């Protein structure tokens, strides 16, 4: 079985109308999956956008025919109550069966604090996510639900409109606790950790341990990697300039600590130079460069690689993926 090469439509960098045109083109080109970010605030201030993911999902699914679309990722811990997440995605699953998935994670301060919440400890975020996943699945699969947890509760709750087919649920993270949670309760694990040693020695062993706890086969779990990508066939410098937007998101500490102002994130992100961007992310001028850089992650065992499209001309990357990169890894 081959490896999927998918695309992330990033609301932080591109306005929702243009992203809608992007996903229509992805569908026309035969891209299998589109992941979309679910943010309240962006990872950068200058030139940023801030569309809401949920209305965009409905529009994107209605405007396309085959492509599967979901979030990468939704944080059902503070600004979204898990019951509402369950309802929204159940509705999408009813309207567009077999074409929707849900990615969840512990969130970032830039989305949760700015929407009116106190930023909790890492332990509390983990506990909230675990409880949220349990409640979402319970509402999808059961009739009347009563639940009293540490952080959430519902009384005499029922989703009258349920998904017509099961909705894949993926759990994202950068650390072993989230990976273990994904193995135990998710259909797969999502990460943007690009360090080979961390993946091999920490994340995947934790994922395997979680799967074992649940009596699941580690090999059956989807393992999904996100990589910001910029492609220009004629000018690498243009590709580098376009991907500079993601410098703030490369500072892993910002996923944990209360740094929530995109202006502050942008200020701190200036320390990341172009050489680092080119070495760590996917900055390419041809398909063979992309294939060579992605192969090491495929060799680790990832089943899907999601390229966050930050190219000067985003359609050019979609075409390159469809015509060359995805074909190579599909076989």
301 dihedral zone (left: phi>0; alpha: psi -120 to 50; beta): left
> Which residues form the domain of 205?
4-330
Q: What is the pLDDT of residues 134-150, one digit of tens each?
A: 999 999 999 999 999 99
Q: What is the pLDDT of residues 5-49, one digit of tens each?
A: 999 999 999 999 999 999 999 999 999 999 999 999 999 999 999
pLDDT bucket at 255, cuts 50 / 70 / 90? confident
Q: What average pLDDT is seen over the chain? A: 97
Task: Just list the catalytic residues.
Answer: 39, 108
How many Å apart are CA 43 and CA 40, to the nearest integer?
Answer: 10
Calculate what percentage of the chain has a pLDDT beyond 70: 100
pTM of the model: 0.97
CA nearest neighbour of 73 among 125, 112, 38: 38
How many Å apart are CA 5 and CA 297, to the nearest integer?
Answer: 12
Q: What is the pLDDT of residues 274-297, one digit of tens each?
A: 999 999 999 999 999 999 999 999
Q: Number of structural domains, the chain? A: 1
Collapsing DSSP to helix, strand or coil, 222 comes out as strand
pLDDT at residue 253 tops 80: no
The structure tokens 């909705």 sit at 167
How many Å apart are CA 116 and CA 234, to the nearest integer?
Answer: 45
| CATH number for 163 | 3.20.20.30
The structure tokens 């409905």 sit at 58
What's residue 252's pLDDT? Answer: 78
How many Å apart are CA 5 and CA 326, to the nearest integer?
Answer: 5
């Amino acid at each position: 079985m081959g490896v999927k090469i998918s695309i992330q439509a990033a609301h932080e960098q591109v306005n929702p109308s243009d992203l809608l045109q992007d996903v229509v083109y992805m569908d026309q080109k035969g891209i299998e999956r589109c992941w979309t970010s679910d943010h309240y605030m962006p990872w950068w201030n200058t030139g940023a956008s801030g569309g809401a993911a949920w209305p965009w999902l409905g529009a994107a699914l209605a405007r396309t025919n085959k492509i599967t679309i979901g979030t990468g990722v939704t944080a059902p811990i503070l600004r979204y109550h898990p019951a509402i997440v369950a309802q929204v995605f159940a509705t999408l699953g009813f309207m567009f069966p077999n074409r929707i998935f849900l990615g969840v994670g512990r969130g970032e301060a830039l989305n949760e604090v700015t929407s009116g919440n106190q930023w909790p400890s890492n332990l509390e975020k983990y506990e909230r996510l675990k409880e949220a996943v349990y409640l979402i699945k319970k509402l999808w699969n059961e009739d009347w639900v009563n639940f009293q947890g540490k952080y959430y509760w519902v009384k005499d709750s029922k989703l009258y409109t349920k998904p017509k087919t099961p909705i894949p649920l993926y759990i994202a993270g950068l650390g072993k606790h989230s990976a273990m949670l994904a193995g135990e309760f998710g259909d797969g694990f999502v990460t943007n950790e690009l360090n080979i040693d961390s993946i091999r020695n920490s994340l995947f062993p934790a994922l395997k341990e979680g799967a074992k706890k649940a009596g699941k086969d580690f090999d059956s779990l989807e393992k999904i990697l996100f990589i910001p990508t910029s492609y220009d066939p004629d000018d690498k410098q243009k590709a580098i300039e376009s991907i500079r937007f993601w410098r703030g998101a490369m500072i892993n500490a910002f996923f944990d600590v209360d740094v929530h102002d995109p202006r502050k994130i942008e200020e701190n992100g200036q320390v990341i130079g172009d050489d680092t961007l080119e070495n760590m992310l996917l900055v390419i001028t041809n398909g063979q460069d992309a294939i060579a850089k992605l192969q090491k992650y495929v060799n680790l065992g990832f089943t899907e690689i999601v390229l966050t499209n930050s190219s000067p001309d985003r359609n050019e990357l979609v075409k390159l993926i469809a015509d060359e990169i995805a074909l190579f890894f599909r076989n």
